[in-house]
Amino acid sequence: MLMHFLMYLVPILLGTMGALWLGARFGRPWSPQDEQKQNFEHVTSLVRMLFAFTLAFVVVLVWQEYQAGQKTATAEASALTEVNWAALELPADQRDGLRQRMIVYTHKVIAQEWPAMQDKLTMDTDTRNAWDDLRRYAVQLPTVDARTTDFQHRVLTQLETAGQARRERGNETQSGLPSVFWAGLLVGAAMMLALPALWGTRFTTRSVLFLTVLATCVTGMLFLVGEMDHAFSGEISVPPTAFQELLDRLDRLS
């Protein structure tokens, strides 16, 4: 993650320092009573306030997006866990058939679908086929007696809950921050860095240090937002922990 962050930070720092040098080289220095300096301070204060408001709003949005993805993944795995417990009361052949298909599906979610969500922001076709096979098998289970029918109904109910969570996970995989928010963040960040650099600031150690810290903080926040933009993609994303725990439980009971 650090190298990824530095890939963004270094060119931004170079651009900011170049803008500072140009501003110091060709800009007009401030005089103590310069009216333009006062106007500049008003403008930069307004830009900082708008950028801070937009950034705070966006951080809340992406954090809620992350939590929603985590909740959805946990709900799907929890529903499949309930399927497993209900299947314990079914005849041995039905129980084993369900469990084997759940193991195949869960393994594909971890090994194939999660990487597809990470890299391509899409669900995996092979995993979807495994899910369809699990659902098809559960629907076609033969009825033996009233007690078995009751547990088969529980299995189908929990599979429907898991299916709804899976659909929500697919939607959350593709959803992200609206482009208008990204535009506001990028324009605000550019103004935050360009205004002090270009408006006659002297090229001194103090100004260089100030803009370096400012550029690092702004870049760091934008990098954080970008990594959390999609709940199942990026360095900061929802891990398949719930499905790994489910797979471990299924393996122990097999």
Q: Which residue has the higher pLDDT, 36 or 31?
A: 36
User: Which pair of tokens denotes residue 137?
Assistant: 């098998």
pLDDT at 27 over 70: no
Determine the Cα angle at 16 with ends 14 and 20, to 5°: 115
Band of residue 197 on the pLDDT scale cut at 50, 70, 90 = low
Residues 197-222: what's their mean pLDDT?
A: 77
From 135, 184, 187, select the one nearest 158 (Cα to Cα). 135
pLDDT surpasses 70 at 35: no
Chain Cα centroid distance, residue 139? 34
Q: Is the pTM of this model over 0.85?
A: no
Domain boundaries, the chain: 2-21+36-52+65-253
Average pLDDT over residues 3-12: 71
Q: Contact 172/231 with Cβ under 8 angstroms?
A: yes
Q: Is pLDDT of 30 > 70? A: no
SS3 for 240? Answer: coil
Q: What is the CA radius of gyration of the chain?
A: 27
Res 75 pLDDT > 90: yes
Least confident of 111-125, 158-172, 214-228: 214-228
Residue 147: the pLDDT is 83
Distance CA 192, CA 163 (A): 46
- Would you state the pLDDT for residue 20? 64
Position 233 pLDDT exceeds 80: yes
Average pLDDT over residues 11-23: 69
